[in-house]
Structure 1
Amino acid sequence: MCVRARTGCVVPELTVRVARACNPRGTTAMTIRDHLDGLWSDEDFEEWYPRDGRPGLSPAQLATVSVLQFLLELSDRQAAESVRNRIDFKYALAMELEDPGFHHGVLADFCERLAQEGRADKLLGLALEKIRAVGLVRERGRQRTDSTHVLAAVRDLTRLELVTEAMRAALEELARRAPHELVALVTEDWGKRYGRAARLGKNPSKPKTRIKQTGEDARLLLRYVHRYLPALRDGEQVQALRQVFVQNYVLDTQDRPTWREPGDAGLPPSAVAIVSPYDISTRYARRGETRWKGFLAHVTETCDPDTPSVITDVTTTKAPVHDTKALPGIMTNLHDRNLLSKEHFVDGG
């Protein structure tokens, strides 16, 4: 699929008349079109797509739909239905009234492209240039940074489930990369223990036996890979298993894995403790009564009293990173966009 820039982005006359008749005071979607002439043009997305192939949908339209989707808290399906049925959406996207829109699955594909290579930050920079040009962001004004928690797309696991699942994930990765190399290692008991997702609960049967077996299995697998499969040591799940094993077991004087306890060998702090083998950047955090596993999104916005609040930066960090620790990176981003403020407010914790 390639990008074929639209020859014009003028809102069709009939769409204008109907939208104005139905919404004389305008809507959020219409305001974006009226004041900013849209946030982006198709030329801004040319590097995202190959130069040949079948022409795809307008990426500028999809990006605008994604913004409206976030503002109005719509699912992909609801956003696609709004494009098909809502007149103000057609106005914002410069679409004919009879345009049927697109399938909701297109938005998921667009978001995958958006998440690559810092593209979201680049789009934010382009939008801020237009917003600043119309005077909605004051030069050297006031800004503030606050954060909100972001849940990771991972399942809550106990420590024993974490090690068991890390073992299963590593075995599946090795089976994909070198299926014949594990024949001499994997036993029928391993198939029973790691053949399906770990769901042991907080009170599994024979917990000490499970802890001992899983630790010995993990140590054996890691040593086997290190000695006989060195080309596979860099596998993502193998590395995750190694880190999970080190954080939850310690080798005793007889070189046997022993379960780490808080008052004995010690457990890693939440800032470094892995909570999922499938996303080792996810962390556990707590703020007041809120507890979650995931990340922190630090949102910076203008806060001048006589202008609308405009988001100028969004920085995502690991969950335990406080706003003050993220501030140097945020200030660098604002400097690159020429949006440094005279006063900047941040929660000192």
Structure 2
Amino acid sequence: MTSLRVGVVGVGLMGADHARRLATRIAGASLVALADPDVERAQALADELGGSGGTVRVHADPLDLVADEGVDAVLLASPGSVHEEQLLACIERGVHVLCEKPLTMNGDSSRRVVEAERAGGRDLVQVGFMRRFDPEYVRLHEMLADGRFGRPLVLHQTHRNLSVPNPDFRSEMIVRDSLVHEVDCARWLLGEEIVSVQVIGPTPTRHALDGVVDPQISIFRMASGAVVTNEVFVNSRTGYEVRVEAVGEDGSAIIGRPWGEVYTTTAGHDGAAGTWGGPIVPDYRVRFERAYDLEVQAWVDASLRGEVVGATSRDGWISTLVCSAGMESLASGRPVDVALP
């Protein structure tokens, strides 16, 4: 196989972005199918992208796309609540799949996906933790691994969004859908497991939806005794800011900073992103555009080789377990141990 025929499930913001990426920027792949219950939106996107590599078929049912013999691999950008069924269908058919986070909504369903993949005897699932492909994150990972800072002691992670217009976005979703990135980064950067998590809610911003705890501060205790602090603020009103500071016994490093000296932020107006003396990017598609390109290209190349790169289904399962403990801590305010497999 010299070209991977890819179908994309879900044509919302993330899925449409991936579809355009596959159609215009990824080598060795062709976009051949889309699936979404909103057939009109899927058809409009198919019409837009069909000229880049022939006709793009449209399915109303994602399982029909998975069963399509003209599809070699599947990119899942559907809601997490339907991931288990779609992943199991991909595994049963034996096609490679790139699944946007979360893997599934709870530990039991994630375990079933891992077990099905193992029973099939082939690694097929990559989870879309794109920060593992971001050049700054890759560099920090290398620096921590080579020991130049001594033993890592503390990791500070910041994750801010401009706003969340979804009226159904609740406090638990900040843990499950946003903090999950920090969970994976902590495990990957430090090379060890999270053994306990505590989520603390300060006084919510006035911009939060009624009853939503935003921002949230969480503390991970790692197996080595290192501590990871996380701020997730989904209605910051300043823009999309993601950065990390790693502190070791003999030095430290910071990634994700766009500034040189004193740094301040001011809110934008009428829903626009704020500024720091230069513009703050509005969302993840700008901040991590390069990371997504590298991630999808690596997935295509690995799929053509019959391999999996990046985060595995087991990584997705463990991240789900940590987030489940985080949601329990959010409710109680107390540290919760992570039940690792």
What TM-score results when the alignment is normalised by the length of structure 2?
Answer: 0.22
Structure with higher strand content: 2
Q: Work out which of the two has the higher radius of gyration on C-alpha atoms and give 1 or 2.
A: 1
Structure with higher helix content: 1
